Each structure stands twice: as structure tokens, then as C-alpha cells.
Amino acid sequence: MLAVALSGCRLRLNVDVRVDADAGGRLGVAVSADRALRARAERAGADPLDDLVARVRPLRRSGWRVRDTTAPGGARTVAVSTAFADPAELGDLSAALSDALAAPEVRLLSPFRLVVRGRRMVLRGGAGLVPTPAVRELGLSPAQARRLVAGAVAYEVSATLPRRVLHSTGRVRGRGPVSGDRRGGTTVTWRVPPGERVRVRAVGTRPVPPGSPWPGVATGALTAVMVCAAGVVWLTRRRRRRGTAA
């Protein structure tokens, strides 16, 4: 935290969840430190991402993919990602990711919860950059820590749902398929300012999965209603004719 604040560096944190029509998808996080931040930290005897690598390495046993790359300009990025098969697995995996990213000074992520009812999907979670009282061990108060990292940390959460997003607490990019996203869908983003906690919530729709019985059920129900309506009209007309004849 002090390295970021005192050297004019940038630390970027991006959390991304993508949900497919079948309620599976991918979950990932990428943390990047620019060259200035790394140089400042190295003079203090450590790379700011080494601890993160140590924390996320055990996730590999659960099928996570961990990538640690350094760009020609000196920026280093640690990216962690995995696939999930259903909402329950998303909850378990995001809880593991939340624990791996947590530190005594700040808890960055709350686990995601995905609820699917028919064609509607609801994604919930949380993200924050709120310093805890543990920053006092660094000689800072929580208020001082918030002021120091303001403008130095860029934290964003994004979620892509398979169809249209009806309601959200974030910023929706487009109202239909996202251009450039080969799988389609609508993406919502949340920016997390230092010192704040953001509620992640998005309500969207999904296409009916292939082989689902619902289209047939819906068509059958509509047909039944039309037949009943036609029968009522026929009976009404028949009664009127009998009354006229009488």
C-alpha cells in the first residue's frame, strides 16, 4: 500500500465473471503492477505480486489456471481463471478466490451467488477497497490509507450475462449482444473506488437451452387456451341462435 501511494504507481485489479445460457461459465481475476510500482517495491526487497502468486498457487489443485507474465515495458500481471459448471460451483469457486485475495488490511471480494429461475438470472456479490484497522500496523489510520491509495488503484468488476440485462447496480455496456464478444451477451461493470464497498447485482435473461421442454409446454398451453376460447365463442353463438329461433 505504501509503495503504491508514495511512488505514483498504478495497481490494476480486474475481476470477471461470464455466465453462459446453461448457467455455467468462467470466473477470473487479473492483478497488474506497473514498472514504477515494481521498481519501488524491489528496492524494499519484494515484488508486490509475489505474495499473490503464493496465495493463488494452491488453487491449481482445484483446476484453476494461473498465469504470471511480464510485459516488455516491465508491467507484471498475475491472472487466475477457471470454469464453473453451475451456480453452486460458481459460489464455491468464488469463495475460494475471495479467500485467496483477502489480506488483514483489506477484503477485496465477496463470493458470487447466481440464481436461475426459468429464463431469468440474478447475479449477486460484492467488492471493496475499504482498509481495516489492521493498517495501523503500517503506521496509518484507515482514513489515511484511503487518501494515500486514492487514484493509485484501479479496481473493476465485470459480469457478462447471456442475453439482455434488465436491472443492475453497475454500468451496462449496450442493451443487447456486445460487439466483439463472440459468445454474445450483455456486460455490466462496477468500478470500486478506494475506501468504498460496491454491491454487485445484475438481473438478466437467457435463451432457452436446446432440448428444453419449456418451448413445447408454452406452445401447448397457448394452443389449449386458443381452443378453449374458440369453444366459448362457439357455445355463446349457439345459445344466441337458439334464443333467436325461440
pLDDT tens for each residue of 15-38: 999 999 999 999 999 998 888 777
End-to-end CA distance of the chain: give it in Å, rounded.
94
Render pLDDT for 68-118 as a digit per residue (tens, 0 to 9). Answer: 999 888 888 999 999 999 999 999 999 999 998 888 888 899 999 999 999
Question: pLDDT value at position 143?
Answer: 82
Candidates 118, 213, 114, 215; CA nearest to 161 is: 114
The Cβ-side half-sphere exposure at 105, using a 13 Å CA radius, reads 17
Using DSSP, state whether 245 is helix, strand or coil. helix
pLDDT digits over 129-145, tens only? 888 888 788 777 888 77
d(CA 194, CA 12): 12
Q: Which helix (H) or strand (E) holds 16?
A: strand 11-19
